[in-house]
Amino acid sequence: MHLTYAEIWGGIENLAEKKGLSLSALAVKSGLDPTSFNKSKRLGADGRKRWPSTESMNKLLQATNTTIFEFMELAGEPTPSSKSQTVPLLGFAKAGRDGYFDSDGYPLGIESWDGIEFPTVLAKKVYALEVSGDSMEPAYRDGDKLIVSPDSEVRRGDRVVVKLSTGEVMVKELVRKSALQVELKSVNPLHQDIVVPSEEVLWMSRVLWASQ
């Protein structure tokens, strides 16, 4: 599965039409700024393409009760139900321990991990982390499985899994990344946002979506 820039924006337009909403109304329903999905927002001032953030897409799908596979179909991407793959699965509590990831955030020793069947075949290398407890609510709940891609480019607004030099592993939203520091927003409003020196971030991988 790989949705292009045009397919993602086309999927959003088709979803708005399916729900009988304007793009502005769809954005408001999703808890976003009314102009978030407007065509004028799809290019930056320098002419570079602007992609919807992972958080925006999560809010959109939740607000419209749309699965990722339904959205893929609206975007013109086939979803072959006859194909699946086994994705390595690790409990989130184990993610900070030594021996499970290399220095770039790729999983190690996956033959000893559990696995889940994922109902499509992904081009990227992915793994799953199972959420335990309520520390990530309301974004993610106990038992949710986060599909994580260490291969994917990480952009501002994406939800990411971050491992710090302290060994702590957390899920945050990337606000800003520079040569000196990384700004991260908590997915749980009860927890504080943090700013950490760049050298303390061992690796950071993008959360593609959550499988509930």
Query: pLDDT by residue (tens digit) across 79-119?
Result: 544 466 788 999 998 998 889 999 889 999 988 899 888 76
Distance of CA 166 to the CA centre of its chain: 24
Task: Tell me the CATH number of domain 5-74, given options 3.40.50.2300, 1.10.490.10, 1.10.260.40, 3.40.50.620.
Answer: 1.10.260.40
Q: Contact 154/183 with Cβ under 8 angstroms?
A: no
pTM here is 0.63
Domains of the chain, residue spans: 5-74, 85-211
**What is the CATH number that goes with domain 85-211?**
2.10.109.10
Q: Contact 7/15 with Cβ under 8 angstroms?
A: no
Q: Contact 117/173 with Cβ under 8 angstroms?
A: no
Distance CA 118, CA 146 (A): 12
Q: 204 has which bridge partners?
A: 162
Distance CA 202, CA 116 (A): 27
Question: Which of 31-40, 137-146, 167-176 has the least mean pLDDT?
Answer: 137-146
The whole-number pLDDT of residue 121 equals 57
